[in-house]
Structure 1
Amino acid sequence: MYSRRVKNNWHIIKGQPLTELDKKVLYFQNKGHLVPSRKLIKTAEQIEGIRRSSVVNTGVLDLVAKEIKAGMSTAEIDKLVYDYTVSHGAIPAPLNFEGFPKSVCTSVNEVVCHGIPSEDEILEEGDIINVDVSTILDGYYSDASRMFVIGKTTPEKEKLVRVAKECLEVGMQAAKPFGFVGDIGNAVQRHAEKNGFSVVRDLCGHGVGLEFHEEPEVCHFGRKGTGMLLVPGMVFTIEPMINMGTWQVFIDEEDGWTVVTEDELPSAQWEHTFLMTETGLEILSD
């Protein structure tokens, strides 16, 4: 339940009759739940724009999947991302976002997220790396990431990467129209902890589409029935960050961006952009 300050999120359009969607959302709002504002419910035109952006975004990750290998620098990954994105008439969303200097986040081993590509960082046999790609096309945003195992790694890292992907999948299955964001986090946390891992709590998924980061915040831990109501037309990411050790993290003081596990044990993350429909989630970018 939420305080009175959120009770007017869903505004009735003056002079227009209540739709079935209005009635459903108002039911939950009047019960005291946090509901999205109308601006978070994307129009058909906006959804089509996000779809087009997502096609480019997925294409970038497909290219990285083909090219990534031991001996490659993370700066080479950044160049692949930049060149592919701009050649398709789009813009890498991370580039210069709040001062971020590169076109993609490359997070290796104990780096949880926001790793900055570098000529000096060379991928080695056994590394695991998250490549996080975000694209702007015609003003529409998409966002997804994948894990890559470089050559042969340890059984422990293999399990971490696999379970992190399963966490994304169980989170996706838990997300239902007129369910709650907390349902996603609860499913992710239970699966991670059942497998002996922890869920990062300082970072989360988010709405996306018209801006890089929108409401709601999609936490990957928590209780069922809490958080924002999930309404058809919402577009958001689920992107659980799963750690081998503690869930606690710190930010590298030198660059102000790189998030690292507190105990410097490995971390893994997968991310998709989703559209909530009347029947469940549709993957837009993976």
Structure 2
Amino acid sequence: MIRLKSEEEVAKIERAAKIVAEVLDLMSEMISPGISASDLEKTANEHIEKRNAKPAFKGYNGFPYALCVSVNEEIVHGFPLKSKILKSGDLVSIDCGVLKEGYYGDAARTFCVGECSEKDYRLLKITKEALEKAIKVAVPGKQIGDIGAAIQNHVEKNGFSIIRDYVGHGVGRRLHEDPQIPNYGNAGAGDYLRSGMTLAIEPMVSAGDYRTMVLEDGWTAVTIDGSRTAHFENTLVIENDSTRVLSQL
């Protein structure tokens, strides 16, 4: 069931989402060749605690960390291990969630470590643009399928592939609420968007094959052909005649 949020609830979601944005800004400053994913995890935990909030992912269905740190062919749910040392040319996706005052915020960004290839920069650009296009169509009267179609059309016409096994979602009192928001689909299909809906839209894009598999750790999702990936996500609220992003400063 889709829960519409009151203004008070939206304000709480926004406070949580802005802490996520702060964490991602800190990650942007820290990411450089030679840094360990565990250093990013430590800083994220410290900042979330300082803001009197809790990491949403830690303990969620048994996930053991505050951050998902996914490198290159890792799509999502990568572990922030000490042994995961970033090097120049890597693409690293950071996904973070925060719980504050009983409400959740969720966002993700992909960063280039040092100098990356022209194709990698283009992968990041197209994925970020796909999220922006999805946000623009996420207004009252449109449908869930319009979001997925906007993402899929932009990604595929630019020669990349949409990951289909992981999708966006509602967010609020729970980290994952209805509705599910696939990053692909047909315009004019699915539930209608209404004022008061709070959503986490998160295109995940592969430079090659869209098919995925999960590693032996039971969490880390990778592309089946080893293709590099990008992941951008924002938490937003649908208002009377527009959409407002909550997870940006």
TM-score, scaled to structure 1: 0.85
The match for 1:190 is 153
Larger radius of gyration: 1
Equivalent residue runs for 1:176-255 within 5 Å: 176-252=139-215, 254-255=216-217
The match for 2:230 is 268
The match for 1:43 is 6
Rounded to whole Å, the distance in 2 between the matches of 1:55 and 1:222 is 30
Query: What's the CA shift string for 1:60-106, capped at 9, x where partnerless?
Result: 11111111111001111111110100111000001111111111000
Per the TM alignment, residue 161 of structure 1 is displaced from its structure 2 partner at its CA by 0.8
The match for 1:148 is 111
Query: What's the CA shift string for 1:3-37, capped at 9, x where partnerless?
Result: xxxxxxxxxxxxxxxxxxxxxxxxxxxxxxxxx64
Per the TM alignment, residue 41 of structure 1 is displaced from its structure 2 partner at its CA by 0.4
Equivalent residue in structure 2 for 1:109, among 72, 80, 87: 72
Rounded to whole Å, the distance in 1 between the matches of 2:152 and 2:124 is 15
Rounded to whole Å, the distance in 1 between the matches of 2:156 and 2:112 is 22
SS for the counterpart of 1:135 is: strand
Per the TM alignment, residue 241 of structure 1 is displaced from its structure 2 partner at its CA by 0.4
Per the TM alignment, residue 249 of structure 1 is displaced from its structure 2 partner at its CA by 0.5
Query: What's the CA shift string for 1:157-211, capped at 9, x where partnerless?
Result: 1111111101101111121212101001001101101110010111100000110
Give me the identity figure in percent: 38
Mark the runs of 5 or more structure 1 residues left unpaired by the alignment.
1-35
Rounded to whole Å, the distance in 1 between the matches of 2:57 and 2:225 is 27
User: Do residues 68 (structure 1) and 31 (structure 2) align?
Assistant: yes
The match for 2:16 is 53
The match for 2:244 is 282
The match for 2:218 is 256
Rounded to whole Å, the distance in 2 between the matches of 1:155 and 1:55 is 31
SS for the counterpart of 1:176 is: coil
SS for the counterpart of 1:136 is: strand
Per the TM alignment, residue 137 of structure 1 is displaced from its structure 2 partner at its CA by 0.6
User: Do residues 169 (structure 1) and 149 (structure 2) align?
Assistant: no
The match for 1:83 is 46
Rounded to whole Å, the distance in 1 between the matches of 2:165 and 2:25 is 29
2:218 maps to a residue whose letter is: G
User: Is the deviation greater in 228-237 or in 169-178?
Assistant: 169-178
Rounded to whole Å, the distance in 2 between the matches of 1:95 and 1:221 is 29
The match for 1:32 is none
Rounded to whole Å, the distance in 2 between the matches of 1:67 and 1:267 is 21
What's the C-alpha RMSD, in Å, of the aligned pairs?
0.9
Rounded to whole Å, the distance in 2 between the matches of 1:54 and 1:221 is 25
Query: What's the CA shift string for 1:187-241, capped at 9, x where partnerless?
Result: 1101101110010111100000110100010101000111111100000111000
Mark the runs of 5 or more structure 2 residues left unpaired by the alignment.
none
User: Of the two structures, which has the highest relative contact order with CA contacts closer than 8 Å and spacing of 6 or more?
Assistant: 2
The match for 1:95 is 58
2:219 maps to a residue whose letter is: W
Rounded to whole Å, the distance in 2 between the matches of 1:174 and 1:191 is 13
SS for the counterpart of 1:285 is: coil
